[in-house]
Amino acid sequence: MSPPGLCLLISFIPSVQTEVGDQLLPKVCLQKPMRATCKRSLGLILVGGFLLIALFYVWSPGSSSRVDIRPKQWSPVIKHLHGKIQNIASLYHDIPYHIKEDVACRLAQNTCVCVAEKETVHLPFSHLLWPRAWAHDISMAFLESHPDPEGVKSNRAQEYHSFQRRSFDPSDVLVIAEAQSPLQYPTQGVKVRPLKTIIIPGLGLKQEERSNYSVYLTATLGTFDIAASVDSVSVNGAAEKHMVLSSPLLSALNRQLQFVTYTNTVFHPRTADTIQFSTKGHQAFFTIKVGHGTVPALYNHGSQKEYNISALVTIATKTFLRYDKLKDLIDSIRQYYPTVTIVIADDNEHPQPVTGPHVEHYIMPFGKGWFAGRNLAVSQVTTKYVLWADDDFIFTENTKLEKMVEIMEKTTLDMVGGAVREATSYTATYRHTISVEEGGEEGDCIHIRQGYHHIIEGYPNCVVADAVINFFMGRTDKLQQVSFNPRLARQGHLEFFVDALGSLHIGSCSDIIVNHASKIKLPWTKTDKQKAYDKFRYTYSGSDKNLHNEIYYFKNRFKCMTSN
């Protein structure tokens, strides 16, 4: 597209005027005036100089057309579509019906309530076998201690409103195909790259005989045209947002419809255009997705038959006050994986050197904390997968990273957790499911339950869950996308999985086991270092608790959490 302001300016410079081709306009316009102005009189130079400045001002690189990219939800077409759907929904109001309670109550009501589960079985120890869900009223806990509860409430509402506007996707708008439409069109799967052109597949008209057949096309973010013309079809509005095709011959019109193109003219890297396609008395809507294709991020890890763990996996850990434990971890890893890279994030006050082949030691400001360390460590990984291990884990012959790699290579999982063996023979997998229920103005409810969704076909020891233990392997790029909220300094685990809900597909395998250097130690046998660590890590101060409440209340917009 040639900027209109530019053409006007160019016509004032005589020597350039004739040389400007329509297509080459932007390039030519910028180079030619300079040469031209040099040869002219002073007056012309001055005028030319002024024009050049004006020209750069009007035509900054790219295009001079201005596009409003403030998030908005309602193009005229979508507004129209919305009205039609309301009309459809309001039909048959006079016909009576009977509600089926057991089904109707399963429908989302947008009114989740914060209640603990009732005890159903009264037996000794039944709470161990069927743990009851408790409920935590996040709104109350957080707002109670807040100096300005109304202010923070309205801030949250405002942020949420703009989040909804930003994340609105026109291709998610409800579209209903009305009964007996003579129009044929694609219902989904039409995609165009920004500012490119495609043929719209599948357009057609099946109509009873008449003297003149015509169809109308309307778009918001692009224009229509025809890639070929068919005899006895008239085309009005080619290269415009509204195009009319008509013909006395239905077959000719249908042939012409096979050549209809759509060109995206408003740049947006990820949106959709809602197309209105109609004929007399009938309207249909469909969306064309506008967006770049996903640019792949591939890892070249050689072509060995067996998984080369050193080329595929980096082990990441975070250490604080426990160099003895860290050394044991590194030694145990080296027994099984002598060349795998180990990335260590360290926020000790007095860091000690940790060296060795394939060890990367990153020193952070003192006490930056748990999730900040995870973030830093994961950000430095260059392999396809990253394994997270706590600094007090010990690798054994059961810590088979190959198994984790295999399941991620062969399934759609983005992350797989293992099991952690505590001092005795007890192993933990910490599998949980997470669901979010809509709760209206006050916020949503998050429900966390022990358990998993299903066993993974072909891997009897592995299941799919929404949260797993802090011994896991993940696709590096996916984990980096979710990232660990660095505000969570002391404690945090579930928060990552809440952020990952809907973007990571997570598994858990009970047969990939790492040992935990004994956690259960009697207080009087602890060293001073251990005591200091415990104090730092496990003291759950009031402000920490408030931070968790704030993150759930404000960042995630929850009002309630239930869990068992």
Ligand X SMILES: *[C@@H]1O[C@H](CO)[C@@H](O)[C@H](O)[C@H]1NC(C)=O
Contact positions toward ligand X, by CB under 6 A?
A: 212, 214, 244, 246, 248, 302, 304, 308, 310-311, 339
- Closest residue to ligand X: CB criterion: 311
Provide the minimum distance between the beta carbon of 218 and ligand X in the complex, in angstroms, as a whole number.
Answer: 14
Provide the minimum distance between the beta carbon of 245 and ligand X in the complex, in angstroms, as a whole number.
Answer: 9
- CB of 25 or CB of 249, closer to ligand X: 249
DSSP H or E run through 9:
helix 4-10
**Cα-based distances in Å from 73 to 70, 173, 233, 287, 485:** 10, 10, 36, 14, 30
Say how far apart CA 240 and CA 234 lie, in whole Å: 15
Provide the minimum distance between the beta carbon of 259 and ligand X in the complex, in angstroms, as a whole number.
Answer: 19
SS3 35: helix
Say how far apart CA 204 and CA 207 lie, in whole Å: 10
- CB of 212 or CB of 335, closer to ligand X: 212
- CB of 199 or CB of 311, closer to ligand X: 311
- CB of 145 or CB of 214, closer to ligand X: 214
Other CB atoms within 10 A of residue 376 CB: 22
Provide the minimum distance between the beta carbon of 309 and ligand X in the complex, in angstroms, as a whole number.
Answer: 8
- CB of 214 or CB of 461, closer to ligand X: 214
In the structure encoding, which two tokens stand for residue 55, read together? 């020209």
In the structure encoding, which two tokens stand for residue 215, read together? 């169809």
**Positive or negative torsion for Cα 72, 78, 80, 81:** negative
- CB of 299 or CB of 366, closer to ligand X: 299
Provide the minimum distance between the beta carbon of 338 and ligand X in the complex, in angstroms, as a whole number.
Answer: 11
Other CB atoms within 10 A of residue 381 CB: 22
477 phi/psi in degrees, rounded to 5: -65, -35
Say how far apart CA 260 and CA 257 lie, in whole Å: 5
Contact 374, 472 (CB under 8 A): no
Say how far apart CA 66 and CA 61 lie, in whole Å: 13
DSSP codes, 362-406: EE-STT--HHHHHHHHHHT--SSEEEE--TTEE--TT--HHHHHH
Provide the minimum distance between the beta carbon of 533 and ligand X in the complex, in angstroms, as a whole number.
Answer: 34
Contact 256, 262 (CB under 8 A): no
Provide the minimum distance between the beta carbon of 257 and ligand X in the complex, in angstroms, as a whole number.
Answer: 15
- CB of 214 or CB of 556, closer to ligand X: 214
- CB of 247 or CB of 508, closer to ligand X: 247
Provide the minimum distance between the beta carbon of 224 and ligand X in the complex, in angstroms, as a whole number.
Answer: 15
- CB of 213 or CB of 452, closer to ligand X: 213
**Cα-based distances in Å from 472 to 83, 370, 507, 511:** 49, 16, 9, 13
Provide the minimum distance between the beta carbon of 310 and ligand X in the complex, in angstroms, as a whole number.
Answer: 4
Residue among 161, 149, 175, 219 nearest 84 (CA): 175
- CB of 296 or CB of 302, closer to ligand X: 302
Provide the CA 27 distance to its chain's centre, in angstroms.
38
Say how far apart CA 75 and CA 87 lie, in whole Å: 19
Provide the minimum distance between the beta carbon of 302 and ligand X in the complex, in angstroms, as a whole number.
Answer: 6
